[in-house]
């Protein structure tokens, strides 16, 4: 796009990130995510909802936590709260139960609807 003198937007970046994540090239998607921010393009709820599950699926829990923190600090909440189920699951699988509990607390603090499954992940892993 830059070569053809087209200005990328949050939509074009999110679309490219989604494509790379879908084919398992999460690292490329993550590079695009960082690049868009360098160009002053702010990720939106859809961008976060695209990159975070891909990072979780790839076992990149630390990167997911960093991006999640950024998302919560910007008060950006995805429309579909199933992303939080994946994040909770990923953090529990990596053994970071405190981070998972903190995530659930953040969901409540930000009025993000919680479901039985969110609590179930924590209960199952804490027991």
Q: Does the predicted model carry a pTM greater than 0.75?
A: yes
Other C-beta atoms lying within 10 Å of the C-beta of residue 19: 14
Query: Does residue 43 come out as left (phi exceeding 0), alpha (psi in the -120 to 50 range) or beta?
Result: beta
Is there a contact between 29 and 51 (Cβ–Cβ < 8 Å)? yes
Q: Confidence class of residue 107 from pLDDT cuts 50, 70 and 90? A: confident
Residue 126 pLDDT: 87
Q: If 0-12 CB within 10 Å is exposed, 13-18 middle and 19+ buried, where does residue 65 land?
A: buried
Residue 50 pLDDT: 95
Task: Give pLDDT tens digits for 24-71.
Answer: 999 999 999 999 999 999 999 999 999 999 999 999 999 999 999 999
Domains, the chain, with CATH or none: 10-126 (1.25.40.10)
């Amino acid at each position: 796009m830059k070569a053809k003198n087209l200005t990328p937007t949050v939509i074009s970046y999110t679309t490219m990130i989604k494509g790379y994540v879908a084919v398992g090239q999460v690292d490329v998607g993550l590079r695009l995510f960082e690049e868009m921010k360098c160009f002053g393009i702010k990720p939106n709820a859809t961008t976060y909802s695209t990159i975070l599950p891909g990072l979780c699926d790839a076992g990149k829990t630390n990167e997911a936590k960093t991006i999640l923190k950024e998302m919560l600090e910007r008060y950006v909440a995805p429309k579909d709260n199933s992303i939080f189920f994946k994040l909770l699951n990923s953090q529990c699988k990596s053994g970071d139960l405190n981070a998972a509990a903190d995530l659930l607390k953040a969901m409540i603090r930000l009025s993000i609807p919680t479901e039985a499954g969110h609590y179930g992940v924590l209960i199952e892993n804490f027991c």
